[in-house]
Structure 1
Amino acid sequence: MTLKNFLKKIKLSERTISAFLGILVVVVAGVLLFNFFQSRDEVDFLDEEEISQEKQEETFSSVLPTTHKVSQNENLWRIAEGYYGSGYNWIDIAQANNLKNADYLLVDQELLIPDVAVRWPEADSADEDARVNNYTVQPGDSLWKIAVAVYGDGYQWTNIYEANRSDIGPNPGLINPGQVLVMP
């Protein structure tokens, strides 16, 4: 058989060969997807942090004072959460152990866990006291700048405008120095 005859034969059956290869690709892709999703259901994925947290939870004692042996990837915050239920007690652990650098813990280091009251973050009443009720417009001010200064968010300018619409008028871009605005 010559090369010319062979190529002619392939050309005639090209449609059949393409259909067969297409079906083969679809079947292989289907098998791979099936195996992927089948094996995914069987494997329980846990990262190292979750595993170490589970180990920590098992080792924490509720009787205080006690000692704690530092494990890998532990820090004072996590240790305090384990014993006190609040990470804010890391300060007490650091003070009880005279730690100069609370970020530097060695694996297997023994720490004294003191018997102290649980610390919780205090509500910052200074934020409420510092809240401005009125604002006197300064030269160069805009509602955006005032909103950033008072609320830390320039997009609050619309609330300031709505609260002072009668004093500002229809143009929120036109405010005058010395004008007193109510902060909502």
Structure 2
Amino acid sequence: MVPCGDPHVVLLAFPFGSHAAALFTVARALAAAAPSATFSFLSTARSIASLPTAQPLANIRFYAVGDGLLEGGEAPPTNIEEKIKMFMGAAPENLRVGVEAAVVGSGGAVVSCVVSDAFLWVAAEVAAKAGVPWIPVWTAAAMALYAHLHTDLLRREIGVGQEGMSIKINIDIFIYIGLNWIGSIW
């Protein structure tokens, strides 16, 4: 059942690559457009720590969910595919616990919809159990379009072909055009 009153939108971010940063961009835009709504952004602690912190919005709250790695056990895998597999294996329970924490952290505001990166298909189950809509977002397309809109600037600052990237990598240019998540993947 979708609740009445001010919405409580839960955003579940896939914590690898640029996915969380792209969904956070969506969250910031939504939060600015709907200041009376509550937005709970869930991802791993590492993913949340990589997000830009400039100009925080009061109606966005962050909740760290488990990454699927063993606590205090053996060293985490270095292989990204293994990390993703571990995260996805633990995601149903970790996201359920994260959503519960978001409800408590928002003073009991009932979830009105779940927005997630389309990679997190388990978010559909989270939404179904809450009886609310699931809105999957294909985040990669938005950032690819954004990069294409700034192609000339990127080519001028970074270079092209063999001259590209080996000459210089000026992270400030990525921050300038809103692609500051790129610095977190190098």
Structure showing greater Rg: 1
Please tell me the TM-score bracket, short chain as reference: under 0.3
TM-score of the superposition, structure 2-length normalised? 0.19
Larger RCO (CA under 8 A, 6+ residues apart): 2
Q: Which has the higher helix share?
A: 1
